[in-house]
Amino acid sequence: MAIVDMTAREMASAVRNRELSATEVVEAHLSEISAHDREVAAFLLVLADEARHRARSIDEAIARGEEVGPLAGVPIAVKDNMTLRGVETTCASRILAGWRPPYTATVVQRVESAGAIVIGKTNLDEFAMGSSTENSGFFPTRNPIDLSRVPGGSSGGSAAAVAARFTPLALGSDTGGSIRQPASLCGVVGAKPTYGLVSRYGLIAFASSLDQIGPFARSVEDAAALLSVIASKDPMDSTSLGVGFDAAGIGEGVQGMRIGVVEEMLDGVSSGVASVLDSAIAALEAAGAAVERVSVPAARYGLSAYYLIAPAEASSNLARFDGVRYGLRVEGEDITETYLRTRERGFGAEVKRRIMLGTYALSAGYYDALYGKAQQVRTLIARDFAAAYEHFDALISPTSPTVAFRFGERSDPLSMYMSDVCTIPSNLAGHPGMSVPFGPAENGMPAGVQVLAPALREGVMFRVAMALEAAALEAAVPEWAKAAGSGGAA
Ligand code: GLN
């Protein structure tokens, strides 16, 4: 098997057992990147020299018989809104171009101490605002499955890099769906953990009460392995919960589980995506789960509440980019002019739209009617999920209402915002959610099934995800092969 086709766990065990060197693993991925990233454009920065250097030191450590960690020698791509000390971090914004952070994100420290090798920084919608990477201040990323289509966003570079086999693992951030939606559109696994499970230290804030870092991988077990490395207590993030994630037991199946299909997440879904969900329901039933429809009424208002809360927090978080402390500075007559010119030049159109929306929602006289109301809706959503979880262990829905769309197709902001109707409610509730590929749907493009679970029930979520993955793999084997082989093992 080609190195780039292996799972992350296979790579790590081959490196530990000296069947492969970390250097060979890194070189195989770097050559894939140099052959194909010109078309895909997943990376803003490829850290080739640094990755080679790290690979060599891991190989030396193994030769000395040292303990090298569960992800030894495994490449990982990092969305460019997470910091690595001394390495340019832009959030795909012109306003941060050239900024080199003086500190490393906790997640990056965690993956590096587990032996993983950061291979590059991936593209995103500017400050993670968008669903296609078309809002990147530099260039859009293309979907590796069909280059005329978007990879989704905002973590489109990370999803595309994993789908294109540039790396088996990547980190993304999810404020309203930015891990799960691109995972669905690129046909990979992506998970947003419970709010607080993974440290946000070193993640450049978009909407602090919603942002969570999470894993991308090509298999559910790889995603779980990465999550178990990054989930931790971090004294540098006061919202970190202080619990870990243990992947043991995620292969135990769904026999006897009660799984709800969220009614409010079925509106406006394409027929291809709807039939993908139908086959997922059938697969879960065949695996022994009881699947029923359930209503989470306030989820209907998730999108509206999100587009008040997220811009409100963003308008405040982005106030710090003023031409004085970070990146771009466009001089004016006085300091106020300098602020204005820097922000005018440095921010793209969508970021400016969010800053204006958020500032308006927080302004005197509107605060209670807009921001305050949205916070009440947020409480209702959490309450309605809690009611559903009295009867169900997990919930499912489409991840995204459609498959990957073409560039320029969603030029009106509202149609772009609609990409996240199914993912946003769990960010508002602080609950975990993940996307598992279960396609193809329209035009042969991938579509994911979203699995939701109560706070800190990632174990249940991953169990459902593994059952779906097993069914999808089984369905992908042609009938003649099943008949010819003994139980499909061939
Ligand atoms: N697409 C949503 C937005 O534009 C979610 C983005 C995200 O999760 N970072 O806000």
Measured at the CA of 216, the angle between CA 210 and CA 218, to 5 degrees, comes to 150
Tokens describing residue 351: 């970021």
Catalytic residue among 178, 184, 400, 419: 178
Best probe residue, ligand 1, of 81, 82, 129, 209 (max atoms within 8 Å of C-beta): 129
Over residues 458-481, the mean pLDDT reads: 91
Tokens describing residue 436: 């598992």
Closest atom, ligand 1, to C-alpha of 416: 1
For residue 87, CA distances in Å to 84, 105, 134, 298, 348 come to 5, 12, 24, 42, 23
Catalytic residue among 21, 131, 154, 232: 154
* pLDDT above 50 for 213: yes
Distance 416 CA to ligand 1 centre (A): 10
Cis check: omega of the bond before 232, within 30 degrees of 0:
no
Distance 16 CA to ligand 1 centre (A): 38
Question: Which of 401, 486, 471, 483 is CA-nearest to residue 442?
Answer: 401
Domains and CATH numbers, the chain: 3-267+270-296+382-486 (3.90.1300.10)
| Average pLDDT across the chain, whole number | 96
Has 415 been annotated as catalytic? no
Best probe residue, ligand 1, of 126, 132, 178 (max atoms within 8 Å of C-beta): 178
pLDDT by residue (tens digit) across 234-246? Answer: 999 999 999 999 9
Distance 423 CA to ligand 1 centre (A): 10
DSSP structure string for 339-400: HHHHHHHHS-HHHHHHHHHHHHHTSTTTTIIIIIHHHHHHHHHHHHHHHHTTT-SEEEEESS
What confidence tier does 432 reach under pLDDT thresholds 50, 70, 90? very high
> What is the pLDDT at residue 122?
98
Catalytic residue among 21, 79, 228, 426: 79
pTM, rounded to two decimals:
0.97
Q: Pocket around ligand 1: residues whose beta carbon is below 6 Å from it? A: 128-131, 154, 174-178, 206, 310, 420
Q: Kindly give, in sequence order, each residue whose CB lies less than 8 Å from that of residue 487, ignoring residues fewer than 6 positions away.
A: none
Over residues 184-212, the mean pLDDT reads: 98
| Cβ-contact 481, 297 below 8 angstroms | no
Distance 123 CA to ligand 1 centre (A): 14
Distance 215 CA to ligand 1 centre (A): 16
What is the Cα–Cα distance from 96 to 98, expressed in whole angstroms?
6
For residue 351, CA distances in Å to 123, 135, 152, 313, 357 come to 16, 9, 17, 12, 10
What confidence tier does 484 reach under pLDDT thresholds 50, 70, 90? low
pLDDT by residue (tens digit) across 63-87? Answer: 999 999 999 999 999 999 999 999 9
Neighbours of 471 (CB within 10 A): 19
Neighbours of 365 (CB within 10 A): 7
Closest atom, ligand 1, to C-alpha of 419: 1
Residue nearest to atom 5 of ligand 1 (CA): 176
101: DSSP letter = -
Of the CA atoms within 13 Å of residue 141, those in its CB half-sphere come to 39
Closest atom, ligand 1, to C-alpha of 354: 10
Closest atom, ligand 1, to C-alpha of 307: 10
Distance 420 CA to ligand 1 centre (A): 7
Distance 184 CA to ligand 1 centre (A): 14
What is the Cα–Cα distance from 322 to 409, expressed in whole angstroms?
33
Best probe residue, ligand 1, of 126, 131, 185 (max atoms within 8 Å of C-beta): 131
Question: Which of 269, 39, 46 is CA-nearest to residue 146?
Answer: 39
> What is the pLDDT at residue 475?
84
Best probe residue, ligand 1, of 420, 428, 450 (max atoms within 8 Å of C-beta): 420
Has 79 been annotated as catalytic? yes
For residue 472, CA distances in Å to 4, 217, 402, 438, 480 come to 21, 16, 19, 6, 17
| Cβ-contact 251, 219 below 8 angstroms | no
Closest atom, ligand 1, to C-alpha of 128: 9
Neighbours of 34 (CB within 10 A): 12
Closest atom, ligand 1, to C-alpha of 173: 9
Which amino acid is it at 225? A
| Cβ-contact 162, 171 below 8 angstroms | no
* pLDDT above 60 for 490: no
> What is the pLDDT at residue 474?
87
pLDDT by residue (tens digit) across 275-311? Answer: 999 999 999 999 999 999 999 999 999 999 999 999 9
Q: What are phi and psi of 55, to 5 degrees?
A: -60, -45
Over residues 433-440, the mean pLDDT reads: 96
Q: What length is written for the chain?
A: 490
Closest atom, ligand 1, to C-alpha of 178: 8
Distance 282 CA to ligand 1 centre (A): 31
Rounding to the nearest 10 degrees, give the CA dihedral for residues 37, 100, 114, 213.
Answer: -80
pLDDT by residue (tens digit) across 122-157? Answer: 999 999 999 999 999 999 999 999 999 999 999 999
* pLDDT above 50 for 486: no
pLDDT by residue (tens digit) across 367-379? Answer: 999 999 999 999 9
DSSP structure string for 3-61: GGGS-HHHHHHHHHTTSS-HHHHHHHHHHHHHHHHHHH--EEEE-HHHHHHHHHHHHHH
Q: Kindly give, in sequence order, each residue whose CB lies less than 8 Å from that of residue 151, ignoring residues fewer than 6 positions away.
A: 42, 132, 133, 141, 142, 143, 144, 157, 159, 160, 163, 182, 185, 186, 404
**How large a percentage of the chain has pLDDT more than 70?**
98
Tokens describing residue 414: 């509202």
